[in-house]
Structure 1
Amino acid sequence: MKFTLPVALGALLAVVAVGVGGLIASPIPMATRTILMMVAPSMLVFGLLAFGLGVKHGEFRAA
């Protein structure tokens, strides 16, 4: 399977959506507003940073 940028970013968004959905559905004492305004953006930022580092590492290994 060839990973293009849209496919890879779609997979990243799917993982974040599943994580946020799981947090919202779980019985934890955290408001949905807190999850959507604090947890989801931090998950996206971390995911994008890890994605960028992974791409650069893959380019380094391929060279």
Structure 2
Amino acid sequence: MKFSLPVALGVLLVIVGVGVGGLAASGVMAVGTVMMMVAPSMLVFGLVAFGIGVKHGEFRAEG
């Protein structure tokens, strides 16, 4: 399966959305806490991991 940048970022957003939605619906934390603290941190971590993965893929493709 070939991924383009928009498809890969869309998959990342779906994964974060499912995680945030599940946590908000579970009642473990207040929804406000999930939206203000958990969602941004999940998104930032996902973007950092995505960037590292892209750079690692570029490195592996070179040699």
TM-score bucket of the superposed structures, by smaller chain: over 0.9
> Structure 1 regions of 5+ residues with no counterpart?
none
After TM superposition, the runs of 4+ consecutive aligned structure 1 residues lying more than 6 A away are none
Q: TM-score, normalization: structure 2? A: 0.95
SS in 1 for 2:39: helix
> Structure 2 regions of 5+ residues with no counterpart?
none
Q: TM-score, normalization: structure 1? A: 0.95
What is the alpha-carbon distance in structure 2 between the residues aligned to residue 34 and residue 26 of structure 1? 13
Letter in structure 2 aligned against 1:58: G
What is the alpha-carbon distance in structure 1 between the residues aligned to residue 27 and residue 55 of structure 2? 38
RMSD: 0.6
**Identity level (%):** 76
Structure 1 match to 2:53 = 54
1:25 Cα shift?
1.2
1:51 Cα shift?
0.1
